[in-house]
Structure 1
Amino acid sequence: MGLNPAYVSMTFGAGGSTRAGTVDAVALLQKLGFDVAPHLSCIGTAPAQLKEMLDNYRDQGIRRIVALRGDLPSGMGGDAGELRYASDLVAFIRENYGEQFHIEVAAYPEMHPQATGFGDDLGHFVNKVNAGAHGAITQYFFNPDSYFSFVERAQAQGVTIPITPGIMPITNSSQLLRFSTMCGAEVPRWIRLRLADFGDDRASIRAFGIDVVARLCQDLLDGGAPGIHMYTLNGADASMAILPNLTWR
């Protein structure tokens, strides 16, 4: 099955060598004909460095950015820098580049792990939207009601930008549980129990994961989600197996 994604996102390296690798990877994907949306995180990064990267992306013809707060690089202590929040980064891009970039931001249907509550978390999201974001991509989840509830609460606050659900294919149970603990994503008990039953049977885990995630994606699309953002983790096989099972409207 051939794919024609609206864009391909590229994660952001926080250190010098990995940051250079991000820029190189973005250039390669663009040469291959993809509309690329590089991630850009602001915490611990000087405004001058951010502007240098944005200038470079603009000059390459990049017109889409995923603006994130990011995590403070190890060894930097408590120095978060001048731009501490993703809303600061969105405002910085708008101030310096106007409408030259389409800006996507993050959303957390099940709440950011560092938020003090759902109201606090939604407030941070609304701040990013009010700063000038064009769209949002959510953290992954496995309960569609959490997505629809978040969208409803955001719209009640006046948010009108599209909120695209982020989807994590299930291919490796230990990796999934580790990632979910780190980012605060809830893996339902029934999924955890089924994965435990499969043990090291990778083929069964993959087949189960494809079925579960395909059903999730279809429920989201049927409920009005504007699209699907797949977190491939540099491996698109599972996503390629899921997409043919979907009915796009």
Structure 2
Amino acid sequence: MDLQPSFSFELFPPRTPEGVAKLPAAISQLASVGPNYFSVTHGACGSDQDGTYDTLLTVVEHTGVDVAPHLTCVGSTRANVARTLQRYQEAGVKRIVALRGDLPDNARTPFAPGEFRYASDLVTFIRQTCGDTFKIEVAAYPETHPEAGCPDVDFDNFRRKVEAGADGALTQLFYNADAYFDFMERCEKAGIDIPIVPGIMPITSFEKTLRFCTSCGADLPRWVRLRLEHLQNDRTALLEFGLSVVTRLCETLLRNGAPGLHFYTINHAEPTLRLWNSLALTVPA
């Protein structure tokens, strides 16, 4: 029996008083369509760990929807991670997004400082410490992590996370469906059968979209980039074009077996809900 697709929304801890004030309304609007869960990010070296927890509580307070906090291990210790896991367990968290996290700007090696070198080490530690208390999601990079030496090295890193005990994966954003399908074919050949949910970012700006793609190594197809550049001074037309591009991407992914969609909301409800409505998505009760 086929499983129903999973739909989830990603938030980040607000960095300004204005952002804090606006967040509850955005959360309530997003929750109105019944996502399976929200995820909440935090910054490099655990800088926003308290913000992650506070945002998690805001989601629970305003919606009651499950929340999956991001947990990074860069610069951290086993004792600190154990305390964080205990805190989340006491808050009723059922799902963790386990990540290495961003390396410091002055890092001279590809290894994370602290007691964990890779995200796979973090996944192993969570399983050893908490057993099956949490469902563990990890990151996947259909177009290869920008710090990876080559696609094979990057895929081996992903495989190790799965072998360490990951239950599922969320991909980096992408706008080329073939990259996802190629990644899934590689997983099938490697015997990896966990759900790998595409990460989707609505297009609302030429400059922001180009910046996001550049920072994470995602390909922005030339024809899309040229159209966005041409429309950048006509916001209405750009939004309509961006909506059509991402809607078609999502439809293609779901029609060809993607197990759901994970939307990067950037704490703004309207662009994601426009996309949601254009897809006529529903989440089963």
Same fold (TM over 0.5): yes
1:63 aligns with 2:94: yes
Alpha-carbon shift at residue 207 of structure 1 (Å): 1.0
With structure 1 as the length reference, what TM-score do the two structures score?
A: 0.95
- Misfit runs of 4+, over 6 Å: 75-79
- What is the percentage of aligned positions where both structures have the same residue? 50
Contact 2:45 2:74 in 1 (8 A): no
User: Gapped runs of 5+ residues in structure 1?
Assistant: none
Aligned residue pairs, count: 249
- Match for residue 100 of structure 1? 133
Q: Tell me, what secondary structure is at the counterpart of 1:100?
A: coil
Contact 1:13 1:22 in 2 (8 A): no
1:209 aligns with 2:242: yes
- Match for residue 217 of structure 2? 184
Cα RMSD for the two superposed structures: 1.8
Residues of 2 paired with 1:47 and 1:14: CA distance?
A: 17
Map 1:199-238; keep pairs closer than 5 Å: 199-238=232-271
Residues of 2 paired with 1:9 and 1:184: CA distance?
A: 22
1:46 aligns with 2:77: yes
Map 1:1-12; keep pairs closer than 5 Å: 2-12=32-42
Q: Tell me, what secondary structure is at the counterpart of 1:165?
A: strand
Map 1:1-249; keep pairs closer than 5 Å: 2-14=32-44, 18-32=48-62, 33-74=64-105, 80-246=113-279
Alpha-carbon shift at residue 245 of structure 1 (Å): 2.2
Q: Tell me, what secondary structure is at the counterpart of 2:260?
A: coil
- Match for residue 11 of structure 2? none
Residues of 2 paired with 1:92 and 1:188: CA distance?
A: 39
Residues of 2 paired with 1:25 and 1:75: CA distance?
A: 29
Residues of 2 paired with 1:187 and 1:129: CA distance?
A: 28
Alpha-carbon shift at residue 243 of structure 1 (Å): 1.3
Alpha-carbon shift at residue 50 of structure 1 (Å): 1.1
Deviations, residues 203-243 of structure 1 (Å, cap 9, x unaligned): 21111111110110000000000000000111121110111
Residues of 2 paired with 1:23 and 1:115: CA distance?
A: 30
With structure 2 as the length reference, what TM-score do the two structures score?
A: 0.83
Deviations, residues 77-96 of structure 1 (Å, cap 9, x unaligned): 76711101110000010000
* Farther off after superposition, 9-18 or 122-131: 9-18
CA 1:75 to 1:56, structure 2 compared with 1: closer, same or farther past 3 Å?
A: farther
Q: Tell me, what secondary structure is at the counterpart of 1:228?
A: strand
Residues of 1 paired with 2:93 and 2:257: CA distance?
A: 29
Contact 1:46 1:82 in 2 (8 A): yes
Contact 2:74 2:117 in 1 (8 A): yes
User: Gapped runs of 5+ residues in structure 2?
Assistant: 1-28
Contact 2:199 2:263 in 1 (8 A): yes
Letter in structure 2 aligned against 1:197: H
Residues of 2 paired with 1:211 and 1:55: CA distance?
A: 43
Letter in structure 2 aligned against 1:194: R
Letter in structure 2 aligned against 1:212: V
Q: Tell me, what secondary structure is at the counterpart of 1:39?
A: strand
Alpha-carbon shift at residue 145 of structure 1 (Å): 0.9
Alpha-carbon shift at residue 244 of structure 1 (Å): 1.9
Structure with the bigger RCO (C-alpha within 8 Å, sep 6+) is 2
Letter in structure 1 aligned against 2:115: E
Contact 1:218 1:247 in 2 (8 A): no
Contact 2:45 2:72 in 1 (8 A): no
